[in-house]
Each structure stands twice: as structure tokens, then as C-alpha cells.
Amino acid sequence: MEHLELFLKSIFIDNMVFATFLGMCSYLAVSKKVSTAVGLGAAVIFVLAVTVPVNWLLDQYILQPGALKWLGEDYAAYDLSFLSFILFIATIATMVQLVEIVVEKFSPSLYNSLGIFLPLIAVNCAILGGSLFMQSREIPTIGLATVYGIGSGIGWFLAILAIAAIREKIRYSNVPPALRGLGITFIITGLMAIGFMSFGGMLTGGDDEAKKEEKTASVKEETRSNDQVALNAAETAKEELANNTNN
Amino acid sequence: MGLLSKKDAKLITDPLADNNPITIQVLGICSALAITAQLKASIVMAISVMAVLGIGNVVISLMRNIIPSKIRIIVQLVVVAALVIIVDQVLKAFSYELSKTLSVFVGLIITNCIIMGRFEAFALGNGPWKSFLDGIGNAAGYGLILVIVGFFRELLGSGTLLGFKVLGDPIEKTGLYAIGYENNGFMLLSPMALIVVGIIIWVQRSRNKALIEDH
């Protein structure tokens, strides 16, 4: 249950693109055609699913304050968390390289479709962002970390797929010249992000609300303070809608 | 401009408008949008990126002849990561509250595309002084957009600038609020950052027709 909840939460509520704006650069640059967008999206899911659990292990056994206890009591006092950026990015760069080699060896056809995107991914903010959020939200087990990685990857995939499809269609629309290309993409993404905000209430309804609140309290604290504002806005919007339909 | 030749000055002024990293080159959007709900956070972010990009460009430019091209991405990432750790520790030491607001986004300067983009496109092929100017110029162009977005979002969203209540007090109904003005809470939500940037692009391209894309 916990896994499913985190999975849905990371796809819809904390969507990488629409809620936290991660991976925007490649999202904007590679979304002109659906086929390339699918390739990059698949590569992102793959790399996130690998790097988040690996970085979780690094975080638990090397970086956290007191994580070096397994080496002996003398090491328990060390706090290496300031090294996390450099260690995470090194893991990501090597994992991407490793994935590239493995994929090339075992599935040349997959390599041909994903290969060109893999180097791009090492510098995709969504990948590092996944690991950093995993750290700051203190995800408790490696299973949940894997689920979080896959979920955020799928969220990113959905986002780039949607915008690529819209951009293919919008070519036939009469957009004001100065907004063509980048400008309209920004505005559409903004509108889609507003749409995704309505998922915000998805996991807070029901009878066991109070219990869940408790469980996710620590997670929530770390997320943007915007969350509450977003929820309030969503609620008022709902009320207004209800009023309108009544009238 | 006694200090800078015309060419050097262009390195700084170009990215401010016609070659702006955010609105024209489409780089560095990831970290730019999420933190612009407050003007103060935007300014701090802009200064952090300027420090990292200025110093990083010089370091990469000095090492450009000894980096094997195959592993240059990893070398670049390590240089940026080291600089970002310094920035992060400085922020934590001197302004802990703000570093909490920026949360993971300071770390995400590492994968900010502006930084990798300028390393690849400029620092690997030019001398240290020019690279330094290029870094400062691009970071300034990035910061400019950040500050504009932050200005409008904070002013319209919470009626304050840098925390000062410039429009009066919403609770005691002074200033503009006395005549029925309300804050637009929507501006504080993250999607509005995208739309504000979209409008900036619209204004910029309407003024300079040469920048218009054909789809």
C-alpha cells in the first residue's frame, strides 16, 4: 500500500516537470517530435530506476551523520553529508556510462534508439533532482527508493510525451508570431502544471486521512511550502465550480 | 569602457538581451523557476550561479588543453560539484533560513544546463579572461530573468518586495488594500513562473522580430 501510494504520488502529485520543474532543459529541447520524446523518456525512467536506489545505499551507509558506524565505533561521529552532491553526480555519471556499455552489448537496437540520449541524461536535472529529493525527504527503505525512482521517471515520461504530442499538433494552429516555438511551449506547460495541481487532493481524502497525514508528515515538511497554498487554491476552485454548477 | 575592449564588453552585454541564456538559448530553466516566488531567493540564486559560472569557466578554461575529450563531462561535473558544495556551505553558514527555502535547488546548480552549456561552448575554446567575462555575462542574463520573474511574482502574489510591505498591510487594510486591492495568491504557485517567463519571451520577441522562430 505504502509503495503504491508513493508510486502514484511521485507520478502525479510531485511530478518532476510540473511540480518541481526538473529536467526542463531537455524537456523543452527534445519535445519537438513524439518519437524522440519517447526515447528520451524511456532512458530517463531507466536511469532514475537505477541511480536512486544506488544513491540511497550511498546515503545510508556513507553520507548520513553516523552512517559509517559499520566500519567501527571510531567512525560513528563522522558526518559526510556535505559530500553528497559530488558523490551523487559521480554515481550518476558512472551509472550512465555503465548503462550505455551494457545496453550497447546486449541490445544494439535499443542502443541505437536510446544511445544518443544517454550522455544528455548525465546532466539532466531530473536525475540529480531525484536523488536529492530522495535524500531530503528521508525515504526509509530501498524498496521505496526504487519505487520513487521509477515513479518519478514515469512522471517525467508522461510530461514529455504530452508536450511533444501537443507541439506536433500546434504546428497547424495560428499562434501569434512572437510566441511561436518557445513562448507558447512555456505557457502550455504552465497550463498543464495548473491541471496537474488538481491531483494534489488525490491522496488526502478518505477515512484514514488522519493516519496518512501522520505518516507523510515528515515527507510533507520537506516539500515546498507551496503545497498548502496549492491545496487551498484547489479547494476554493472546487467550491467555485460547485457554486457555478448549482447556479 | 577603458578597462574592456569592445569585443570583451560584448561578451557581457550580449547574454543580457539578444542572446539571453533563458529566453533564447533555453538553458538553465530547471532551477530558475521553482525558486522565484520571492525576490530575495531569486537574487541569492542569481549570485550563486554567477559565482559558480564565473569561477568554473576560468578553471575549465585553464584546464582545457589537458582534459581528455572523452571524459570531459565527468571532469566538468566534478569542477561544478566542488564549487557548488562551497556555495552551499557558505549559504548554510550565513543564511540558514534561505538555504532551507532553496532546498535542493542549490544542489541542482550542478546540473544547471547554463553551466555545462557555457563550459562546452565557450570555456573549452577560449582563454581564462574571456571565459570569465562570458561566465559573468551569462550568469547576469540568467539572473536578470530570475529577478524580473521574482519581482512580479512577489509583488503581485504577496504584495511585498524583499519582505517589505510596499503595497500596504493586507490585514490592517492600509495603502492599496484600503481601496479593495487583493493579493493574487495564484502568482505564488509554481505554474505561474512558467507563464510569466512565457510572457517575457513574448515581449522580447515582439520587440526584436529577428528572434521569432517558425514553429
As a whole number, mean pLDDT of residues B166-187 equals 75
A42 vs B: CB within 8 A? no
Model confidence band, residue A231 (pLDDT cutoffs 50, 70, 90) = low
Q: How far is A177 from chain B (nearest CA, A)?
A: 7
If pLDDT is split at 50, 70 and 90, which confidence band does B152 have?
confident
Q: Do A180 and B214 touch (CB under 8 A)?
A: yes
Confidence band (pLDDT; 50, 70, 90) for A153?
very high
| Torsion from C-alpha of A96, A98, A100, A104, nearest 10 degrees | -170
Q: What angle do CA B33, B36, B37 make, to 5 degrees?
A: 120
Chain B hits for A83, CB-CB cut-off 8 Å, are 85
Which residues are paired to B161 by β-bridges?
Answer: B164
pLDDT in the model for residue A247: 47
For the purposes of burial, counting CB atoms within 10 Å of the CB of A69, is it exposed (0-12), middle (13-18) or buried (19 or more)?
middle
Domain ranges of chain B: 22-214
Residue A232: list chain B partners with CB under 8 A. 185
Please state, in angstroms and as integers, the Cα–Cα distance from residue A214 to each residue in A210, B128, B163, following that order: 6, 54, 32
Q: What is the pTM of this model?
A: 0.78
Judged on CB neighbours under 10 Å (0-12, 13-18, 19+), A110 is: middle
Output helix, strand, coil percentages for chain B, rounded to the nearest 5.
Answer: 70, 0, 30
Whether the ipTM is more than 0.90: the answer is: no
Rg over CA atoms, chain A: 20
Q: Which residues of chain A lie closer than 8 angstroms to B26, CB-CB?
A: 25, 28-29, 182
Q: Does B78 touch chain A (CB under 8 A)?
A: yes
Residues 6+ apart with CB under 8 A from B73: A93, A119, A122, A123, B116
Using alpha carbons, list the distances in angstroms from residue A52 to A88, A121, A127, A148, B101.
Answer: 9, 14, 8, 8, 23
Residues A75, A207: Cα–Cα separation, whole Å: 46
> A123 is written with which cell numbers?
546532466
Question: Within 13 Å of residue A196, how many CA atoms lie on the same side as its CB?
Answer: 29
Confidence of residue A206 (pLDDT cuts 50, 70, 90): very low
Region B111-116: mean pLDDT is 80
- Residue B58 has which C-alpha cell? 576560468
Distance CA A145, CA B12 (A): 43
What was the pLDDT predicted at A88?
87
Q: Which residues lie closer than 8 Å to A14 by C-beta, 6 or more apart?
A: A20, A133, A152, A155, A223
CB contact under 8 A, A128 and B108: yes
Spatial contact of B147 and B43, defined as CB atoms under 8 Å apart: yes
Rounded (10°) angle between helices B128-158 and B190-207:
120
Please, are residues B188 and A224 in contact by the beta-carbon 8 Å criterion?
no
- pLDDT of amino acid A154: 93
Instruction: List all residues 6 or more positions away from B197 whose beta carbon is below 8 Å from its beta carbon.
Output: A186, B22, B23, B29, B32, B33, B145, B149
